[in-house]
Structure 1
Amino acid sequence: MNGPGFRRFLRARITAGDVLVHAAIPAGLILVYVSPITYESLLFRPGASGLRDTYLATLGHADAAHLLGNVFGYVVLTSLSLVLLDGVGERRLYYASFCAVLAFVPPLSSALVRAYLELTAPSLIGAYRGAGFSIVTAAFVGVLGMAIAVHQRRALGSPGRPGLLSGGLFALAAFVPAVVVLESLPVAIVFGGIGGVGYLAGTGVIAKRNLNRPGGPRAVALTGTAVLLLLGATGDLFLAESGRVGRAHAIGLVAGFVVIWGVLAGCWVRSVVASRD
């Protein structure tokens, strides 16, 4: 795709309104970072902090590298998700998912962190502290997974609903944290089998069928790029951060997909009710 054609393609899918809405998040994070508010005052402690603190903790960053890494991941994941989705209905689904992640991932992640600590290290409840937007950035991998699934169904004619397709992508994304965070080879093999054999094999067959039809190569290229970026994001989240931070990222990843599946389920219920009226 040439330069002018690529720019037209992007302008058709990412509007000035999209840029303004999405720029509000990095702007807010940067304002908090340069403000007199201290990082220590934003740390979240499971079992000791309240609901409001789950949101405030996402604003805290220890240093500029911490902040910029989270912002970069957020921008890349949301931008590609927008590029994959076309049409009014898909945009509504995207923004429902976008808002749901921001609204529900912080408290859901904090609940999952506490449950994890109760099972593995009860002594750390109340003592564990953490902050940063990375847990939400990890959740946006789920948004990208949803966008890939919707794009595949529309542009490539993939069978199965987006919820099922995104489940295969979750298995693919969960392979690395299963190895690095859980340190469980059997669990990683299960995820790898579902994601690698099930999802990738099926997608490869469907992609091959689309290469010779009008618009097919671009749809296949977009799908392949998005899947590679999803794998790259999970690699960056977990291979570089294998300890306590890696576990927090894994919880954010799980929370993101759970929220997205909730949004997809809500849309399905709504469509069923509408078809009966």
Structure 2
Amino acid sequence: MDIRRQRRGRSGFTLVELVLATTIAMLLLGALYVAVDMQLRFAQNSRDLVEESTLARAILARIDSDASQVVGLSDPGRFRIAAGADALSDPTATTAAAATTAPATGAATAGTTTGTATSAASTSTTESGTSTNIVLPLGVQGDSETLHLYVSRVPRELYLNNNSDSPLVVSDLRRVSYWLVGGADSPVGLARQEIAIVTSDDALQNLPPGIDSEGSFLIAEEVRSLSFQYFDGTNWQDNWDSTTPGADGVTPIGSPRAVAVTVGVARPGANGNVKVYRHVIAISSANGTTQQAQAQSSSGGGATP
């Protein structure tokens, strides 16, 4: 009997199967690559966001710490007392008194001397005895782009140089300034300057911006915008000067009730993407709201209280 041997073909994959398997493998690898890439990008964005928010929080916390140490006017009533003494020494009043009696002239002259001495104890005076400029403390000064704070803090220089033979000339009063180097058109970063000797020319006259070596005062190059606003108790103002006379024309307005700081921080590698943060700082040393009595007449035409 003849036995027919059946030939078996070699087992393998056809070309279609190979192409299909390769395509599926490429799709799986591509999906895996996209998933890993998205995970890495999300992780990097999260790290950048944390770094950005941490920087903004540190900047605002530092400004808040300096603003909490602002020195207010001690006994603002002394300016009204000095103004009252100056009113007694008014030349017009002296002339009128001289035309009446000779003793009155002597009293007016004595008032002139007293008024000048009282005013000189707190402010600089003119020849007529009228108060002109407040020397110290100056409180808060600034505009929408610059902030100057006159603060009181323990001088750290005393601890750093306690073994020195020659004592340092330091003070607890400091001027701390914040501004944006380069301005809004070409910002370079946030700068901070602290002047230890507050009575020096640098502290009172050479105010930033536009000072020498501004780059040495940079503390955050990521800052791209900076603005300040000052709350007077009713409205927000773009400028503030604590030495400006108040409603009575004599007492300085002092520090604002609050300062709003708006900072724009560029995220690392974000190609100009800027996140804006706003923080309102309460000034505890601000003067209280002045209560002014207004004349009210009764409906029956009675006397004004």
Question: TM-score scaled to structure 2, two decimals?
Answer: 0.22
Counting helix residues as a fraction of each chain, which structure ranks higher?
A: 1
Q: Please identify which structure carries the higher strand content.
A: 2
**Higher gyration radius (CA):** 2
Which structure carries more relative contact order (alpha carbon 8 Å, separation 6+)? 1
